[in-house]
Chains A and B, each alone.
Chain A
């Protein structure tokens, strides 16, 4: 699975994590996690809440002392040289941490000073940063006047104030409406086109599927799968899915579905039929007019549910 680690020339690695371990009390939050990210790549960490995503991010930034393992971020060993690494890195945190007493422009100016940037340098970059965040018209607005999407975009612009080569994004679109999410996705694609490296955590499957070159599914601090989104789906999931709902869906599943589907899952009132040959399933459904169904290709969410869902936990 770990093709990136097999071939890499050292200079190509933007982030290298090996056998990372972190315990709180007796519980392992990160338990022997290894992965590496190439320069210019978008890599996503997927996992349910509490899987260890944020702790992994904090370890990579040198904010949490790991109990074991090695980390190298933009060529610098972390936590040893975390400060030098952070000079070349940007972070979009999960929680809003904009300065409420400042305007949009002041937030960027003050943040630039933490990187040792001269006010004149940040002032020169300011129009481009505001343009990128679609906030040029809000330059002198207070933070309280901004919508949720605007705040996120400003946080993104803030993370770019030092022109970082590597950007950490911890659930960048959580809590945003669809329009706001699409705008953020568009900006992330622009950053990737400029050659930036991005580490993204998310629990939105469509987000990972759209943006990530490669992704890792983690749970209980361990990696369960890693690879390109479509390759992963192909490797773990039957290509076609039929979702069946309506009164009697469960009866249909018990009497007919089980024999036709390669794999079958029931969540609430919905039956998920995974199959390589969906036409036989759909033919059988014609005899059950009360049921409605949706036929679609398998996606990352199917993979995620298979790997981290009830089925997986029961086995382990």
Chain B
């Protein structure tokens, strides 16, 4: 614990200096992604499809209606938020760590006029863009399979972008302190998986014991599901404003911490 506090204390806590110079970082990652488009498309489509088919059709046929919709609809719409988070996390963990630590891409970028602030912003916006593409894939499947077809569900896309910014920023904190790929995997198992199970993707939060539910209500993943699921089903979110504010607070804090720790790591 004291090691964690010491790390935090040594960060460079100057306020973020945001500039449009982050765009070339985004374009670099986009170019790599475009080259590997076909393989990536497969992961983006197959994984969520499996979840929907196995759990939604299989398990769902055994279950009653959940919160006024079939379990298939409940799960499929919730899984958009989950996939958005996974997508953003993967990019900001394994992707960013490879670029920073293994390929030394970040070192090369910092030799140009770009700063760490530009670099991180580029990575976060890129991870969010990729996650939005994932959301679009799942949404089209939900439309194609006829699980839900509401015009309002197009708002899922901007929501997905916004949510992914938060989770990418969070993942970059881990990236900033990771020494090897092991920490990234541990983070995924210890932090990300519980976030998903407490978020209401698989079952309504009402099923949780009171104390656990009151914790879950403040978690970003819960707010994300709460925001995306109604939109995908064609309704306005009940607590939309609260969800957005909560995600903004999480996102801004995580971005600031990630930035301070990454500056510390790269500019020592």
Q: State in angstroms the CA–CA spacing of A91 and B104 once bound together.
A: 14
Interface residues of A in 46-88 (CB under 8 A from B): 61, 63-65, 83-84, 86-87
Give the shortest distance, in Å, between B21 (CB) and chain A (any CB).
Answer: 7
Indicate if the CB atoms of B113 and A87 lie closer than 8 Å.
yes
Besides A63-B267, A101-B35, 9 other A-B contacts (C-beta < 8 A)? A24-B268, A61-B111, A84-B113, A86-B111, A93-B107, A110-B24, A110-B27, A114-B24, A162-B112
A-B contact pairs, 5 of them (CB 8 A): A86-B111, A99-B105, A106-B31, A110-B27, A114-B24
- C-alpha gap A115/B118 in the complex (Å): 13
| Bound complex: CA A39 to CA B119 (Å) | 31
Within 8 A of B (CB), among A112-135: 113-116
Q: Which residue of A lies closest to B32 (CB)?
A: A101
A100 within 8 A of B: yes
How distant is the Cα of A114 from the Cα of B20 in the complex, in angstroms?
Answer: 11
- Distance in angstroms between the alpha carbons of A61 and B109 in the assembled complex: 12
Q: Which of B28, B111, B114 contacts A93, CB < 8 Å?
A: B111
What band does the interface of chain B fall in when counting residues whose beta carbon is under 8 Å from A? Answer: 20 to 34
CB of A86 within 8 A of CB of B112, answer: yes
Query: A185: CB under 8 A from chain B?
Result: no
* Tally of contact residues, A, Cβ under 8 A: 28
Residue ranges of B at the interface with A (Cβ–Cβ < 8 Å): 21, 24-25, 27-28, 31-32, 35-36, 103-105, 107-115, 266-268
Are A86 and B113 within 8 A (Cβ)?
A: yes
Q: CB of A293 within 8 A of chain B?
A: no
Residues in chain B near residue A179, CB distance under 8 A = none
Q: Are B105 and A97 in contact (CB under 8 A)?
A: yes
Ranked nearest first, the 9 interchain pairs of A and B with the lowest CB-CB distance are A114-B112, A97-B104, A97-B108, A113-B24, A91-B111, A101-B32, A83-B113, A86-B113, A87-B113
**Which residues in B have their C-beta under 8 angstroms from that of A245?**
none
A113 to B110, CA, bound (A): 13
